[in-house]
Amino acid sequence: MHISIRNLCKAFGNVVANNDISVDFAAGQIHGILGENGAGKSTLMKMLSGIYTLDSGAVAINGNEVLLGAPIRSLQVGIGMVGQDPLDIPVFTILQNIAAGAQIAGHTQIADSFAAWNALLGFELQPHLRIQQLTVGQRQQVEIIRLLITGSQVLILDEPTTGISAAQKDALFGALRTIAREGKTVLFVTHKLDEVAALCDTVTVLRAGSLVGTQAQMPVAKDVILQAMFGDRSAQASFTVGHHHPNGTLWHLNDVVMQSANLRLGPFSQEIAAGQIIGLAGLEGSGQTLYLQHLAGMRLPRSGSIRFLNRQLVGARHDAVYLPADRLHEGIIPSMSLVEHVQLLHKHLLDPGQTARQKVLQLIRDYNIKATPDIALELLSGGNQQRAMLALIPESARVILVEHPTRGLDAYSAESIWHRLQERCTRGTTVVFFSADLEEVMTYSDAIIVFYGGSLSRILDRDTLTEQSLARLIGGVGFAEVMQ
């Protein structure tokens, strides 16, 4: 099936996610869609699969314009998508998962069709296992078969290789080639260059919501693609923002394995020095959150040991503050004010709020927060919320672990956040942060750890990297040499 996308636009509030995108995807081929975090790949795919509606533009299939905007319509015209976190039902068996849904193609013999596809694609799924017993890679395989059984002619895969094993990746690539040979269209969304090189027939690059150049037939030289993905920034001289000098070791990690429901890092050993800013780079969901939560003591390693200040880390500590990405739900209490937050942090049995208020007024001045002491934090702008979060971190904190310190902020607010973090660092606090923004990682880190495909790199000195070399590492190029 041939898809033509014409002048597609999508904005969320003031943020333009897709800007006037026109591109064709021919049948019987695997099309790579490349771009860094936030380039607009997922938005485009979610519009095709009906999860988002389009603001303007048109989509045609085999020359006939189709109306999208709900998953059922996309499924009816034959477009199906496998999400990064597969949308399946954990308590159902594989067969039940496939049967639960609008059956576009009207198959009644689901078990037979399943067995046929399972064999054809070389998967080894047992139809009566429950989804909750499967790995992410296997769940992906189930989703692929499900979409094929329900008659999808276009298969979209959003970052499918995150969190799956090397063997599963090989199986996946083989299956996708088979599917393309069957005449179906495969759209393969990724940020990993070598995967596009290994698998795809064409490559389409998105940057900042827009298409870069036109679709190109593979092979295309890596440098050309990198240039397209990251633009001229990679040519910029790396600039330095005050160095911090590490003093003493804060964490000793010894043969540590970090594990969550669908991710596993390690085993690896590390020593992390105090008094510096460490940036974690890599695609979102490659284990950075898991890593931060282990450093904070909120999760304990599956095996090995983590020592903090030469003591075994056995649980969350007061002097290691973790700021989660979902701040509005886990970081602050949205309907409470700064005064109330300060009161929660500084315990007095009976406080009419006067001492807390004095402290809050001081914080509002110091951190330049546009707020009154008693206004609910949910009513503040993003930048002010972020500064309020920082202000609420006690001076006694030795460590600040933060996800996306400036996500969603304008340049001015972002800079003022970093100003505060650097001040803290100068006074001896260690900052470990994770950002999807390469430039941010390069600008503010003293040292950088790269996460890629379930592994992490050594602690790399920022000065040994350029934005371009970092981009390569995130894309997996040359990652093996720096691997832990």
Task: Indicate the residue among 99 and 290 with the shorter CB distance to another protein.
Answer: 99
Site stretch for another protein (CB under 8 A), options 17-25, 84-92, 189-197, 442-450: 84-92
According to DSSP, the residues that pair with 188 across neighbouring strands are 32, 157
What DSSP line would sit under 357-392, residue for residue? HHHHHHHHHHTT--S-TTSBGGGS-HHHHHHHHHHT
Tell me if 104 contacts another protein by CB under 8 A.
yes
State both tokens at 458. Answer: 């050594």
Report yes or no: 136 and 163 within 8 Å, Cβ to Cβ: yes
Tell me if 111 contacts another protein by CB under 8 A.
no
Site stretch for another protein (CB under 8 A), options 21-29, 98-106, 177-185, 242-250: 98-106
Please give the distance of CA 484 from its chain centroid, rounded to a whole number. 21
Task: Indicate the residue among 310 and 358 with the shorter CB distance to another protein.
Answer: 358
Nearest CA-CA partner of 59 in 1, 113, 12: 1
In the complex, minimum distance from the CB of residue 70 to another protein, in angstroms, rounded to a whole number: 8
Task: Indicate the residue among 73 and 169 with the shorter CB distance to another protein.
Answer: 73
What does R_g of the chain's alpha carbons equal in angstroms?
Answer: 24
The count of other CB atoms within 10 Å of the CB of residue 221 is: 9
Nearest 5°: the CA angle 452, 193, 20 is 115
Task: Indicate the residue among 185 and 343 with the shorter CB distance to another protein.
Answer: 343
Residues 346-385 that bind another protein (CB under 8 A): 347-352
Number of residues that bind another protein (CB under 8 A): 43
Tell me if 99 contacts another protein by CB under 8 A.
yes
Using CB under 8 A, which of 90, 122, 213, 242 touches another protein? 90
Three-class secondary structure of residue 79 per DSSP: strand
Tell me if 55 contacts another protein by CB under 8 A.
no
Q: Is 115 exposed, middle or buried (0-12, 13-18, 19+ CB in 10 A)?
A: middle
Q: Is the previous residue joined to 90 through a cis bond, with omega within 30 degrees of 0?
A: no
In the complex, minimum distance from the CB of residue 79 to another protein, in angstroms, rounded to a whole number: 11
Site stretch for another protein (CB under 8 A), options 85-93, 361-369, 380-388, 413-421: 85-93
Q: Which residues bind another protein (CB under 8 A)?
A: 49, 51, 71-72, 75-76, 81, 83, 87-92, 96, 99-102, 104, 150, 318, 322, 329-336, 340-341, 343-345, 347-352, 392
